Amino acid sequence: MLNVICVRVGQKYTPDYVYKLKNMVSRHLEEKHRFLCMTDNAFQVPGIDTIMAPVPIADSWCKIGLFASNLMTVEKGERCLYLDLDVVITGSLDQLIKDKLKDEKAIPIVDKLSDVDINQGLDNKSNELWIAKDWHDPFNSSVMYWVHGQQSKIYGKFRSEDMNRLRGDQNLISELVPDAKTFNKSDILSYKFSGLMGKEAPPKNAKVVLFHGKPKMHELNVDWINKEWI
């Protein structure tokens, strides 16, 4: 099963962001999937399948909880595609993840974390982490793709002091998984840094446009955004 997951902790994003992301995923992903929202308040997104956030911090650090090994409703070995709420999907998500996370040689299933175990994986499942390439840092965690249970070290090694010494979750991910693979640069674009401001539309081969920082989608009146963000 493919799980498409977003995170809403705190009040930074209105529930509308969750519903519109779900609609975009439905239009741009043909593969059978489940849409899930990791949150600290399931009552604010009725009709959405939810997971209680293991890291209930109203900041990007809450995304570290995605890699907890005991997420409710998500089985070990299932694939997970994470998308930030402040993205606009413009192309095929099937093509974005195609041929990624291919099965590798069988390695032991691990149930308990340790310094040795956290680097092990699940039986006959890829241990790759795919993540967007950032424009300043090594990685951008707005889009990620992995096999649940394979990246438990990210959650297992997270400590509160990390939030003081690092700028955000993606910096910790780059420390713990420096060999993570990045999506094609043409697949995931930044509204601010990829020259899209003032353009009639993103390139046809773009799959996801990130609206990190300002402005957000609800602050703009742009035809191609209005067409997709519904």
The stretch 110-133 carries a mean pLDDT of 63
The predicted structure's pLDDT at residue 125: 78
Contact yes or no for 69/149 (Cβ under 8 A):
yes
The stretch 31-53 carries a mean pLDDT of 98
Average pLDDT over the chain reads 92
The verdict on residue 152 lying in a domain is yes
Full residue range of the structural domain in which residue 119 is found: 2-184
pTM of the complete model: 0.91
The verdict on residue 218 lying in a domain is no
The verdict on residue 198 lying in a domain is no
Q: For the ranges 135-139, 159-163, 172-176, 189-193, which has the lowest average pLDDT?
A: 135-139
The predicted structure's pLDDT at residue 74: 97
Strand partners, 38: 7, 51
The verdict on residue 222 lying in a domain is no
Q: How far apart are CA 60 and CA 19, in angstroms?
A: 20
The verdict on residue 207 lying in a domain is no
Is 47's pLDDT higher than 70?
A: yes
Q: How confident is the model at residue 103 (pLDDT cuts 50, 70, 90)?
A: low
b/e code 171-182 from CB counts within 10 Å (16+ = b) = bbbbebbeebeb
Contact yes or no for 180/133 (Cβ under 8 A):
no
The stretch 159-181 carries a mean pLDDT of 97
The predicted structure's pLDDT at residue 102: 78
1-39 pLDDT, tens digit each: 999 999 999 999 999 999 999 999 999 999 999 999 999
Is 123's pLDDT higher than 60?
A: no
The verdict on residue 219 lying in a domain is no
Count of domains in the chain?
Answer: 1
Is 106's pLDDT higher than 50?
A: no
C-alpha distances in Å from residue 44, one per residue of 34, 111, 218: 19, 33, 19
Q: Between these two residues, 114 and 29, which has the higher pLDDT value?
A: 29
The verdict on residue 229 lying in a domain is no
CATH of the domain at 16: 3.90.550.10
142-163 pLDDT, tens digit each: 999 999 999 999 999 999 999 9
Sequence-ordered list of residues with C-beta below 8 angstroms from that of 81, at least 6 positions apart, any chain:
2, 3, 4, 5, 33, 93, 97, 143, 144, 145
Is 110's pLDDT higher than 60?
A: no
Sequence-ordered list of residues with C-beta below 8 angstroms from that of 165, at least 6 positions apart, any chain:
none
The verdict on residue 39 lying in a domain is yes
